[in-house]
A = this chain, B = another copy of it.
Amino acid sequence: MKCVDYSLYLVLDPDLCGGLDGMVHTARQAVAGGVTIIQLRASAWKKRRWLDAALALKALLAPLGVPLIINDHVDVAMLADADGVHLGQADLPVAKARCLLGADKIVGLSVSNAAQLTDVDGADYLGVGPVYPTRTKKDAAPVLGVEAFSRIAAASSLPVVAIGGIDADNCAPLIAAGAHGVAVVSAICGHDDPRAAARGFRRQRTED
């Protein structure tokens, strides 16, 4: 198993962050506040912008030791030498992405129900959700709630990151339910002070 700290996982959304410059600013501040891993997810972008953003984020994050994960686009991850990819159920299969990226890169897979646990071979971690209602992912599956999340986390042999509608006030039950980490979009990207927002999550964990 790779040594990755999934505890506070930021998904960068260019619309919420204010484009590329806003994403770099948000990432820098969020890492200062305690974010441990960052995913680039710019679903509406064409790939030249993806690559520009991935290269800028890689240059920022690599010296800080914070892994950069690219949503969906394995080609962009390869060109930016990102630390891995995150795949949805309709994206390239995990084994195919692994084939292109090699054994050392991180491959994450989205899981939205227990049935999908039967086909997670080769993934390094699972993104499980949406655990709460979310507005930042338009094609999200039905909301799981804490109990269903807990059952999926218990049934998984892989590290599990909870995602969907998570903020500092509702993350504690997920960690108690077995989440190795919580993934956050709008609670940090849409915040005036991303560092303070990230610190709010760290404080919750410390108080558990």
A79 touches B99 (CB 8 A): yes
Task: Across the interface, name the chain B residue whose C-beta is closest to A93.
Answer: B48
Binds B, one of A34-42, A69-77, A128-136, A159-167: A69-77
Find out whether the CB atom of A100 lies under 8 angstroms from the CB atom of B79.
Answer: yes
CA distance A48 to B93 in the complex (A): 7
Identical copies in the complex = 2
Identity of the chain B residue whose Cβ is nearest the Cβ of A139 in the assembled complex:
B46
Q: Nearest-CB distance from A50 to chain B (Å)?
A: 8
Nearest-CB residue, chain B, relative to A90: B46
Contact partners of A72 in chain B: CB under 8 A: 47
Tell me if A51 counts as interface (CB < 8 A to partner B). Answer: yes
Bound CA–CA A135/B195 (angstroms): 47
A73-B75, A75-B73, A75-B75 known; A48-B91 Cβ under 8 A:
yes
Q: A154 an interface residue at 8 Å Cβ cutoff?
A: no
Residue ID in chain B nearest A45 by CB atoms: B90
Q: Is A137 an interface residue (CB 8 A)?
A: no
Q: Which residue of B lies closest to A77 (CB)?
A: B75
- The reply to whether B91 and A79 contact each other, CB–CB distance below 8 Å, is no
**A174 to B91 alpha-carbon distance, docked (Å):** 39
When A75-B73, A75-B74 are in contact, do A96 and B46 touch as well, CB less than 8 Å? no
Is the pair B91, A47 in contact by a Cβ cutoff of 8 Å?
yes
Contact B51 A90 (CB under 8 A): no
Are the C-beta atoms of B51 and A92 separated by less than 8 Å? yes
Report which A residues bind B (CB closer than 8 A): 46-49, 51, 72-76, 78-79, 88-93, 96-97, 99-100
19 pairs of residues in contact across A and B, judged by CB atoms under 8 Å:
A46-B90, A46-B91, A47-B72, A47-B90, A48-B90, A48-B92, A48-B93, A49-B90, A51-B92, A73-B75, A75-B75, A75-B78, A75-B92, A75-B97, A75-B100, A76-B92, A79-B92, A79-B99, A79-B100
